[in-house]
């Protein structure tokens, strides 16, 4: 690559990064306010294994009919009803699964930064990193109900986003739309650096 081309590419990268940053600043203020309170030490992350290819930045809607990959459908439906009764949200089918722990996100594939647009809510467990448990899933719905109600149910709360981020546990994000930024894309590194260094945000 010629030096002139290298300079032009660098300028274009900064322009693209600025466009993304301006969108995030405009649309994601509630979330940015949370990040500021954590001194930008934690972010919502999501691992994606397929279907995104080389995608590095996009705006997405949260699916309202998410289907579980591993959890038996009857258990998933029962848990969904429990969450809806307690929090008014079908947390297993109408949320985006996130974490602030990079290792956990990486287990599910390519890591993306998630920026919820507008107001959002989180549901998470103060104790459990992940609701999924193969051993108890295999016992059937009735036995799983006992396990869930006896050990897991009371650990789940809605809200306290800062504590949720600091926990490193699974976070069920409830919002209408979000931006996703590939953590491996250099342009997005610029976005994150600018976000963290811009005290006027």
Q: Which token pair is 149? A: 């109600």
Q: Which token pair is 131? A: 């609701």
Residue 54's pLDDT is what? 61
* Angstrom distance (rounded) from CA 34 to CA 102: 19
Residue 72's pLDDT is what? 81
* Angstrom distance (rounded) from CA 31 to CA 116: 7
Residue 179's pLDDT is what? 97
Residue 6's pLDDT is what? 38
pLDDT digit of tens for each residue in the chain (201 aa)? 443 443 334 667 889 999 999 999 999 999 999 999 999 999 999 998 765 556 799 999 998 877 767 788 888 899 999 999 999 999 999 999 999 999 999 988 899 999 999 999 999 999 999 887 766 777 788 888 998 999 999 999 999 999 999 999 999 999 999 999 999 999 999 999 999 987 544
For residues 125 and 131, the answer to whether their CB atoms sit within 8 Å is yes
Residue 3's pLDDT is what? 35
Q: The whole model's pTM is what?
A: 0.88
Strands (E) located in 49-145: 57-61, 96-98, 110-116, 121-125
| Dihedral pair phi/psi, residue 187, rounded to 5° | -65, -40
Spell out the domain ranges in the chain. Answer: 41-183
């Amino acid at each position: 690559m010629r030096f002139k081309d290298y300079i032009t590419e660098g300028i274009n990268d900064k322009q693209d990064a600025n466009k993304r940053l301006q969108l995030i600043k405009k649309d994601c203020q509630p979330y940015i306010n949370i990040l500021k309170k954590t001194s930008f030490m934690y972010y919502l992350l999501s691992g994606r294994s397929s279907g995104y290819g080389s995608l590095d930045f996009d705006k997405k809607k949260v699916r309202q009919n998410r289907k579980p990959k591993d959890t038996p459908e009857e258990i998933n439906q029962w848990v969904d009803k429990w969450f809806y009764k307690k929090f008014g949200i079908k947390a297993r089918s109408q949320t985006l699964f996130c974490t602030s722990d990079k290792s956990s996100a990486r287990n599910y594939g390519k890591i993306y930064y998630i920026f919820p647009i507008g107001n959002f809510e989180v549901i998470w467990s103060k104790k459990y990193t992940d609701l999924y448990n193969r051993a108890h899933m295999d016992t059937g719905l009735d036995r799983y109900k006992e396990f869930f109600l006896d050990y897991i149910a009371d650990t789940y709360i809605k809200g306290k986003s800062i504590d949720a981020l600091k926990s490193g546990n699974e976070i069920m994000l409830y919002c209408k739309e979000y931006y996703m930024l590939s953590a491996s894309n250099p342009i997005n590194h610029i976005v994150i650096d600018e976000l963290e260094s811009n005290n006027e945000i």
